[in-house]
Amino acid sequence: MNGAAQTASRPRSGDELELRVDSLAFGGEGVARLGDGGYVVFVAGAVPGDRVRALVHRSKRSYAHARVTEIIEPGPERIAPRAQHPGVPWQILAYESQLRIKQEQVADALARLGHLDGFALEPIVPAVEQWRYRNKLEYSFGDAGGELILGFHAPAGGRDVVALEDCLLASELGNRARAAALEWCRGAKLTPWDRRAAGEREERTGAAHDGRVRLRNLVVREGRRSGRVQLRIVTSAGELEAGEFAAHVHGALGEALSGVVWTRSASLAETTLGGETELVWGDEQLPERLGELDLRISPEAFFQTNTEMAEVLYGVAADYAALSGYERVFDLYCGIGTIAMWLAPRAGELWGLELAPDAVADAIAGAARNQIASAHFFAGDARLALPELTERAGRPDVVVVDPPRAGLSKRVVHRIVDAAPRRIVYVSCNPTTLAPNAAELAAAGWRLVRVTPVDMFPQTHHIECVALLERGSHG
């Protein structure tokens, strides 16, 4: 598409554009503008200053999404990539640039989306390790010229799987585990799950599965402190020689292997959640330490994927909570209780609330294992259970929240307002939902005091933050 055509109309899917990238959007795509009208094109694989050719794959009235096909002129901050896979899209930016942009995006979200000011935005905390920092990776099985491969799905919704020789997000132990699993699956002549073929089979026969086991995913989870690794193989319905698989992996990893579990999933969706999971070999829970805490992590339990930076993150949260030994603390969305147990020695009493009963069972067991008698955990939806918890335990002095990416619903915000804590510590994995939530709390009488960004995920756009809100005299 030539320049005149670009300014005359919005691009269509399949058009190739020549663009100059101005900035990075939250989410990691480059931002370019067409013509005088300011039509926005989000460009995957581009960084500020790049002049690129990009192929449009989605077009809307006021914006389009495209992916780079050629770098015509690299921007001044672009560097050569190290990893040959799509799991690290920001690796083409120098790490100092990544940190600066993340800091700017947090500031922008709080100002533009939350209309917040008068708070201290602390400097972003850099990651301890820029590579090989993840303790959990979910790989997808695929096919390349008739050979079984194991890697990541291509970016921008691609169906193809990009094979891996060395995943630079994983440790050497994690890479050995992945390689051993793939070796056995190739030897067993197993084939990968094909979502499109399964969907067509379901339309034709009424069943997505034909009874033959097919490989979907491999989840490798590592105890960074314990030096142990857990494998979960995810397949379609069907029979798998799971004991032979476990024996092969154990032969390759020895005592470093903690356990092997097998999940059979009937879902058409690309997900490792759900299905029927059974223990094949070893221990179902992975041993790990976080600071002074002795933890056991179940196969599908949430645990921060950067162990070293989780300790930093929780340290910031503890600093913001400013506990002196007598406070009543509520931990909402407490998961397996890691933040609660981290704070419990500094609190008078701590009450954790989590929707998933299995996570609550893990939290209760973890508190007992670590001899933390002051922490109590309950299963419940914060929207409904928080008033009951307040009535039972009394009003909290401090509320800690660590919600999913969607942030807090309006109802949960109202429940927190009704509980009237003096201090709220908000651990956020998404500044664009932290900002409106903080604005709602500010309107109800709390003041945003401090925010610290923490880089949990180098080479990606993801940003973690800890925010402190304190109730004003009129709250």
Sheet hosting strand 136-144, strand order edge to edge: 161-163, 147-153, 136-144, 215-223, 228-235, 257-264, 276-282
Q: Can you give the pLDDT at residue 35?
A: 78
Q: Is 253 found in the same domain as 159?
A: yes
Q: Can you give the pLDDT at residue 465?
A: 97
Count of CB atoms situated within 10 Å of the CB of 239: 10
Q: Can you give the pLDDT at residue 10?
A: 84
In a domain, 88, yes or no: no
Sheet hosting strand 328-332, strand order edge to edge: 120-121, 446-454, 464-471, 423-428, 398-401, 328-332, 349-354, 375-379
Active site residues: 429
Domain encompassing residue 273: 136-290
446: nearest Cα among 419, 466, 414, 471? 471
In a domain, 89, yes or no: no
Q: Can you give the pLDDT at residue 273?
A: 74
Q: Round to whole Å and give the CA distance between 38 and 262.
A: 51
Q: Round to whole Å and give the CA distance between 46 and 24.
A: 8
Q: Can you give the pLDDT at residue 472?
A: 80
Q: Round to whole Å and give the CA distance between 299 and 229.
A: 11
The domain that holds 389 is classified in CATH as: 3.40.50.150
Q: Which two tokens stand for residue 446?
A: 């709390």
Torsion of Cα atoms, 404 then 406 then 410 then 411, to 10°: -40
Q: Is 238 found in the same domain as 173?
A: yes
Q: Can you give the pLDDT at residue 274?
A: 74
Q: Is 182 found in the same domain as 112?
A: no
Q: Which two tokens stand for residue 303?
A: 């645990």
Residue ranges for the chain with pLDDT beneath 70: 1-8, 37, 155-159, 198-211, 268-269, 473-475
Q: Can you give the pLDDT at residue 475?
A: 38
Q: Is 355 found in the same domain as 245?
A: no
Q: Round to whole Å and give the CA distance between 100 and 394.
A: 42
8 A C-beta contact, residue 472 and residue 449 = no
Q: Is 199 found in the same domain as 242?
A: yes
In a domain, 428, yes or no: yes
Q: Is 117 found in the same domain as 222?
A: no
In a domain, 106, yes or no: yes
8 A C-beta contact, residue 291 and residue 311 = yes
Q: Round to whole Å and give the CA distance between 97 and 101.
A: 6
Q: Can you give the pLDDT at residue 1?
A: 45
pTM of the model: 0.92
Q: Is 217 found in the same domain as 144?
A: yes
Q: Can you give the pLDDT at residue 154?
A: 79
Count of CB atoms situated within 10 Å of the CB of 33: 15
The tally of domains found in the chain comes to 3
Q: Round to whole Å and give the CA distance between 327 and 394.
A: 11
Ordered DSSP codes for 272-341: SSSSEEEEEEE-SSEEEEETTEEEEE-TT----S-HHHHHHHHHHHHHHHT--S--EEEEET-TTSHHHH
In a domain, 200, yes or no: yes
The domain that holds 251 is classified in CATH as: 2.40.50.1070
Q: Can you give the pLDDT at residue 268?
A: 67
Q: Can you give the pLDDT at residue 3?
A: 44
Q: Is 318 found in the same domain as 282?
A: no
8 A C-beta contact, residue 433 and residue 405 = yes
